[in-house]
Chains A and B, each alone.
Chain A
Amino acid sequence: MNIIIKGTTLLNPEQKINEKSDLLISDGIIKKIGSLNDGDYKNAKVYDFNNAYSVPGLFDMHVHLREPGREDEETVLTGSNSAAAGGFTGVACMPNTNPPIDTAEIVKFIKEKSQSHLVDVFPIATATHERKGEGLSPMLELSEAGAVAFSDDGNAIKSASLLRNAFEYTKMIDKVIIDHCEDESLAEGAMNEGITSTVLGLPPIPSIAEDIIVMRDIITAEYTNGKIHIAHISSKNAVDMVRQAKKKGIYVTAEATPHHFTLTEETVKSYDTNYKMNPPLRTKEDVDAIIEGLKDGTIDCIASDHAPHAIEEKEHEFIYAPNGVVGLETTLGLVLTELYHKKHLSIEKLVEKLSINPRIILKLPIPQFKEGEKANLTIFDPNLIWTVDIQKFQSKCRNSPFDKRLLTGKMLAVINKNKIYYENSFFTI
């Protein structure tokens, strides 16, 4: 079947393309770019998007799909629907499932579950056996089965010696270690440490809990020539450390979440558990440092840390409630509203951080606007104003602090694997 994407600006910073051009897609393959003739329009379904961009399909390299183990909270299918609804054509899912993604069978299980879906799902496997921090996972076998990176997300890699070995071992397959940077001995709290935690009487987590592990990881990466990716960076000091390490030529990359560049610890004053995150929401100074890091390239990408939680768990007392936020369906809107419209990031930079860089870090091919290439693209209108409604989420869960928030910029359609997601429905093309 043929479809035509009419009226959008094709933008791919990797290819240095930025021009208004029509696209003819035939059986999922880009057939023609530019001036289409009457023959092309014949037998083609036309999607007319004015004032919209077509960009290489967005990619979220940090999501929790909860399957296997907590299918009541999310599954590969519902998480993929949520990704498509948020404008993503690919995600990398974290291995802190139950059982964790630490065998080739589980990697394959997830890949099979997502096989026929529009959204590509790439499992990240554990760095250690059973994610217990004692001994490496079978990384060669996991990699062969399709794992794109290794992480003990939810916890930091337990010891410097394990991390060192992980760096050495993964050199054989050239894959990155993603670390959730948090020193366990300092992290037994519920919010960022400071005057707000004192006033609220909540047990605090100091920002150095993050900084200490970021520094450890950078030093170890330098020593072993390893590759480290810092997940959900949230503190000013950590951003500075990554900046300095990059200057020294150490292979370190970092991601930031929308909640860490839009919200501060002040929001916790409501004791609303939707503001309970790990790493915790920090100060205005940290938020500014993250935005600065995104602007100067210290922070390579934006990832949602999509973490669905059952309502009955989020409704617990603050200190017992689980951490996290449903992120896939608000990320693009928040990035456009808070970073693009506030003139921190250009559309090109935004596409790099939401599409190109995560794929580079995970060594995945970057979709191209080229005749003969597979169509893998996201179409969004940067100026469309909409209101977040958690009841309309495709995710199984509703834990979002952004409910009722007015955003400027929204996805219109995503195309990948011979399918289009448009107006809340999937169609094969």
Chain B
Amino acid sequence: MSLESKHLLGLYGTSREDIELILDTARTFREVLERPIKKVPTLQGKTVVNLFFEASTRTRISFELAQKRLSADTINFTTSTSSTKKGETFKDTVRNIEAMKVDMIVVRHESAGVPQFLTRISNANIINAGDGTHEHPTQALLDMYSIKEKLNKLEGLKVCVVGDIAHSRVALSNIYGLTTMGAKVSVCGPSTMIPHSLIKLGVKIYNDIDKAIQENDVLNVLRIQLERKAGDRIPSLREYRNYFGITTERLNKFNKEIIILHPGPINRGIEISSEVADGPYQVILDQVTNGVAVRMAVLYLLGTKN
């Protein structure tokens, strides 16, 4: 079995078979992570570059750990300012790295489309680790893995992504991936944080968090990104917390089981209360562990493809 694509650029257009293959493969690696010796020789001799043009701690560490667990040689290229601002073109930066003969590139960038651009100028397998407000496919894959781990299925589930949807790459990848897998995806947040056009993707929109809790099996709660000018679109964090924050009181109103995901890092007391973040419904730390397994699966499947 192998993936249809040479790259993982996003979940838009990724087939159900490919997603299932990644999730199934991830389950095998998840077991490896429980062993006393957590390393397998699968990608020995392969070189992977983590090309991070935007600050990221957990995604980069997760990828790096996944690469080490697979015995790949790993190089980190991290820069908070883009090459543009330094004067070197992005293309030159990539060509320089390419010239070092790398097999795979994991890329994060604040501009959407950079992973696609890389496929045109590099022969390596490209894995998108987040581009602009476009996609973050491995995050959505690990979200799906975590949901499936808890509820044993994705088909027919109702999943609501909560927060600043307009500025989230996680939301779009969740929408594409979960829809392909037969789940019903909705979004919830203040109307200034939800692009009107999402309706055209068949996504239900809630502005009432209580209703979203009542009608869904899973909530994927996004971080309110204070750094992305959230201030222009919501009056205050206090108002956001009061009207959209996930709290125990809110969850208790409906006396139902609901799974709570959060891609991290959490703003405790804003989008989610500490009680919920540490409570019985959350799978937040499972997501982190599963993230390593899912990324191992993606690296393995792309790295061993012909």
Contact = CB atoms under 8 A, between A and B. Distances in A.
Interface stretch (B111-119, B210-218, B262-270): B111-119
A198 interface: yes
Interface residues of B, number: 26
Interface in B139-175: 169, 172
B132 interface: yes
Nearest to A315: B91
B90 A201 contact: no
Contacts of A271: 112-113, 116-117
Contacts, number: 66
A318 B111 contact: yes
Given A200-B134, A271-B116, A317 B172 contact: no
B117 A198 contact: no
Given A195-B201, A320-B82, A315 B89 contact: yes
Nearest to B130: A201
Given A195-B200, A318-B111, A202 B172 contact: no
B197 A315 contact: no
B282 to A, nearest CB: 27
A28 to B, nearest CB: 46
A202 B200 contact: no
B135 interface: yes
Interface in A296-328: 312, 315-320
Given A317-B90, A319-B111, A203 B117 contact: no
B131 interface: yes
Interface in B95-115: 109-114
B111 A317 contact: yes
B110 A319 contact: yes
Contact of B111 (A194, A195, A197, A320): A320
B12 interface: yes
Interface residues of A, number: 19
Given A317-B84, A317-B117, A320-B82, A201 B112 contact: yes
A205 to B, nearest CB: 13
A317 B135 CA distance: 16
B113 A315 contact: no
A202 B84 contact: no
A330 B191 CA distance: 43
Contact of A319 (B116, B132, B197, B200): B132
Q: Which of A197, A201, A315 has most B Cβ within 10 Å?
A: A201
B280 interface: no
Interface string B172-213: 100000000000000000000001011011000000000000
B247 interface: no
B132 A199 contact: no
A203 B134 CA distance: 10
Nearest to B167: A203
A311 B94 CA distance: 16
Nearest to B12: A199
A194 B132 contact: no
Nearest to A320: B84
A270 B113 CA distance: 8
Interface in A243-299: 270-271
Nearest to A199: B12
B15 interface: no
Contacts of B114: 317-318
B71 interface: no
Q: Which of B89, B90, B110 has most A Cβ within 10 Å?
A: B89
Contacts of B169: 201
B131 A201 contact: yes
Interface of B: 12, 82, 84, 89-91, 109-114, 116-117, 131-135, 169, 172, 195, 197-198, 200-201
Given A202-B134, A315-B91, 13 more contacts: A194-B197, A195-B200, A198-B195, A198-B197, A201-B112, A201-B133, A201-B172, A203-B132, A271-B113, A317-B84, A317-B113, A318-B114, A319-B110
Interface of A: 194-195, 197-204, 270-271, 312, 315-320
